[in-house]
Amino acid sequence: MGVTARDVMDTDFRTVRPENTIAEAVKAFKQASEQRRQKVFGLMVTDARGLLVGMLSLYDMLLLMRPKNIHIWGEMRDIDVTGFIEEACRRARAIRVGDVMTEEVVTITPDTHLLMIVDIMIRKHIRRLPVVDGGKVIGIVYTSTIFYELMERLAG
Amino acid sequence: MAVIDRGSALSGLTVAQAMRKLICRLSRGATIQQAIRHTVKYKINAVLIHDERSEAVGVVSKVNILGGYYAGLPITAPVDAIMVSPPLFCRVDNSLDSVLDHMRRARVQRLYVVGEEPRKVIGVLAYADILGMLYKFCHECKHRTLRELEADCPKKVADEFRVGELMTTTFRAHEEDDSLFQIMETMSANRLRTVLIKGRDGLHRGVVTTTDLTLAYLHGVPASTTARSVMSGPARTCAYGERLIEAVKKMIFWDLDSLYVHKEGAADIVGVVTLAEVARVRSGSCRACMISRIDLNE
């Protein structure tokens, strides 16, 4: 069978709920980063039954923080915008995860082959893939993990 | 390359230079729920709908979504049920002058950009994008209306204008006990994106925006509910005699595209000032440019 997602997936992961606020998600991001000892850029979103309902990624957070009208006032470089980032953060903290998460999430199963995972990550520009078994999340595979797994094998 | 001549900062500028390449799109089988999520997440007013051949077949705007809410459609209904078809297109090599004219005639704020293949959308051009871009071009233009005035004045003349000089009086208010149905009717009849909400004492309590209403629809709030339960607040205001620069800062600070204008006291709302109008005045854009002649609400 060879190496599959089961062999490389991270089973010690954190999730957030759609009803959580962004402030709570930020805490989860920090805790997940401490847990993995490296910065985490995406969290899986699960419902009360543990079923995967979305992913909250770095890109989702950037979209949230981007001001709605910046294409108009961004050119007004003579305006002092001190304190505006703090205000944008204050507004964002109360937003619900479910309103900004990405719902269409590509997943794999524990039996997905390592090279198949590589193919999915390249084709779909994905940096992390939830591993789902019977609808429930049982792990996550990161590009960095795949990269080092391949490095080990390439080193012979 | 853009050439500033004949008093028109738009000369030489094409759609390619102003369009966005990020297109928010859904397939025609997608649900209204997905369309709402897209508008909220990407902070946009409309989503492009495409068919199985990736050809653009329609547009679903927040106004169309509210039409579905008003009609009682379930959010699981397909976008097909509320979309407007076909989308309005422009070509990537069209001049900005011509597309602004197109927007004015069609009374729309965005056009979808196609290249060689018809209906294969490669970008989107919104009026706000052109406004932002033209800001810097008009600033450098020799025909800029404020240039002569500023030559003798160390201050930025546009910022010395007062809010009252720019505001419009086209706003509507509702009481907090009014239903979302009534608010949607007012928005639709007056082409508004925000309605002021007042208490029985006449003091304003907050606002209901199209975003508040689409979120209410998404979260299953019945349209018979009162405005009080979905309004966001407080209503952001500026004073009638306030300097323009202060109003701009407030709009940027709160990420708003308009502010209510009060006169005697905070409760005495007399009008609305928009970021688009302020940007146009600050740019010094003159009557030679289409940008200063366009009024999408006319």
Give the nearest partner residue to A72 out of B131, B245, B254, using CB atoms. Answer: B131
pLDDT digits (tens, 9 = 90+) for B58-110: 999 999 999 999 999 999 999 999 999 999 999 999 988 889 889 988 988 89
Q: Put the strands of the sheet holding B121-126 in their side by side order.
A: B89-91, B110-114, B121-126
Residue-wise DSSP of B134-180 = HHHHHHH-TT-TTHHHHHT-SS-HHHHSBHHHH-B----EEETTSBH
pLDDT digits (tens, 9 = 90+) for B228-248: 999 987 899 999 999 988 898
pLDDT score for B141: 67
Residue A82 is given by DSSP the state T
Q: H-helix or E-strand containing B83? A: none
ipTM above 0.85, yes or no: no
CB contact under 8 A, B276 and A68: no
CB contact under 8 A, A63 and B252: no
CB contact under 8 A, B41 and A60: yes
Q: Which of A45, A55, A69 is the mutation pick for testing B, counting most B CBs within 10 A?
A: A69
User: Taking the model in full, what pTM does it have?
Assistant: 0.82
d(CA B45, CA B60): 9
Q: Which residues of chain B have a CB within 8 Å of the CB of A74?
A: 132
pLDDT score for A141: 96
Residue B158 has pLDDT above 90, yes or no: no
Residue B180 has pLDDT above 50, yes or no: yes
- What percentage of residues in chain B have a pLDDT greater than 70? 84
pLDDT score for A27: 96
Q: Does B264 touch chain A (CB under 8 A)?
A: no
pLDDT digits (tens, 9 = 90+) for B8-39: 556 678 899 889 998 999 999 999 999 999 99
Least confident range from A3-12, B92-101, B152-161, B276-285: namely B152-161
Q: What backbone torsions phi and psi does residue B288 show, to the nearest 5 degrees?
A: -70, -25
Q: Which residues of chain A have pLDDT under 70?
A: 1
Residue B5 has pLDDT above 50, yes or no: no
Q: Which residues of chain A have a CB within 8 Å of the CB of B245?
A: 79
CB contact under 8 A, B255 and A68: yes
pLDDT score for A68: 87
B270, amino acid identity: V
